[in-house]
Amino acid sequence: MNRLNYVDALRGIAIMLVVFVHSSASFPPGLLTTLSHFGQFGVQLFFLVSAFTLSVASDHARLNRQTYLAFMVRRFFRIAPLYYLALAGYYFFSQMSERIAGQTPFLPTTEYTISKVLANLLFLHGFYPDANNSIVPGGWSIATEFSFYAIFPFIFQLSKKWRVGFLLIAVPAFAGLLLMLFAARLTGRLGEGGNNSFPFYNLFNQMPVFLLGILLYHFRANLNFRRTLKIAALPAALLLVAVFDTKWGWLVTPLLAGITFCGLAVIVENRVHGSWLCRLGELSFSIYLAHFAVAWTVVPQIRRLDAIFAPDLVAVLSYVGVLTMTIALATVLHHSIERHFIARGRRLSARVIASTQVRLVR
């Protein structure tokens, strides 16, 4: 796959949005605080980019048992090693915090039950309300992403038959959403938190964003499609703002965010090549997993500057400080762990394909 610089730039924008929302603890009431809430939709930008890049990489691949296994091997080594490290890291961080300060900004160690840890290790916590977003902060998006990996090759094949394919995808996705709502009702979690709730997090509710990523791939060269996205992006963004705090807004916010970011992708495509945003995008997964630890420990310290500086300045310092320190930490994680396991996943994937070819020759 040819390197798409603007895709890394989109990832860079996505991680800046996510860090923005989780650095907002020191923001004074006002416009800055309100804007920070929308930073959470950086996750939907990640989902959109993921579906797009997977489509680029899978365009000429044949779907069979071996290619599917090779695909999942690559995806596992892309996500799992660093995620498992984060799981252990946040546990020991909480353990040390409880011993030293008597409390932890993360999940108490007593909540690390076998069922929750196992659900996270298997990336099934997106379907398990009690383990959804707790063992690893922000881990819900990893569960949703990995669940999408498991079904992407089949969806992509169907997407080549537009009318039938997308209908076959949309119907079970909607049925799955209803099932998740029923499960949330049974567990007493229906309606909790809106855009930060179990129904919002699950794969079925996020599916429109992934489908838009595939759609963007197939029609990215169509001028009418690109023009439509540019026109639709602003109304979608305004609607996103309008329904954000409504009781049932979470049902449509992923779709609205996806349309908005599709327009952004079309605009950004020919405008960023080799920029600092691209380099930020390359580190985005490491930044995502590490920034919670930085934000929830550093921001309270920076807030002490309220007595010296204006609150707005402290807010900016919090964001810049968290982003800068996280980038430094993520650079180490990326070069020492992440990229090595990505390379290993590619090698193992190649062996799976090679072993298949050998058997065919025999």
> Which pLDDT score is estimated for 91?
95
* HEC assignment per residue over 173-203: HHHHHHHHHHHHHHCCCCCCCHHHCHHHHCH
Instruction: State how far the Cα of 215 lies from the Cα of 55, in Å rounded to an integer.
Output: 9
Name the residue type at position 18: V
Token pair 């994680």 in the structure block, residue? 333
Instruction: Name the residue range of residue 49's domain.
Output: 5-361
Q: What is the pLDDT along the chain (362 residues), one digit of tens a residue?
A: 445 788 999 999 999 999 999 998 767 777 788 889 999 999 999 999 999 999 999 888 788 899 999 999 999 999 999 999 999 999 999 999 899 888 888 888 998 999 899 999 999 988 877 765 678 999 999 999 999 999 999 989 888 776 555 655 666 666 666 676 666 666 665 555 577 777 788 888 898 899 999 989 988 888 999 999 999 999 999 999 999 988 778 888 998 999 999 999 999 887 776 678 999 999 999 999 999 999 988 888 887 787 788 877 888 888 999 999 999 999 999 999 999 999 999 999 999 888 765 454 44
Residues 6 or more apart whose Cβ sits within 8 Å of residue 261: 10, 41, 44, 45, 48
Instruction: State how far the Cα of 39 lies from the Cα of 299, in Å rounded to an integer.
Output: 17
Residues 6 or more apart whose Cβ sits within 8 Å of residue 56: 1, 4, 217
Burial class (CB in 10 A: 0-12, 13-18, 19+), 333: buried
Burial class (CB in 10 A: 0-12, 13-18, 19+), 62: exposed
> Which pLDDT score is estimated for 193?
54
Tokens (6 digits) for 329: 């930490």
Angle between helices 42-58 and 139-159 (to 10 degrees): 40
> Which pLDDT score is estimated for 331?
97
Instruction: State how far the Cα of 176 lies from the Cα of 341, in Å rounded to an integer.
Output: 33
Contact indicator for 286, 330 with CB cutoff of 8 Å: yes
For the chain, how big is the Rg over CA atoms in Å?
21
Number of structural domains (the chain) is 1
Residues 6 or more apart whose Cβ sits within 8 Å of residue 153: 58, 61, 63, 67, 68, 71
> Which pLDDT score is estimated for 356?
62
Tokens (6 digits) for 259: 């349309």
> Which pLDDT score is estimated for 264?
95
Q: What angle do CA 255, 326, 267 make, to 5 degrees?
A: 40
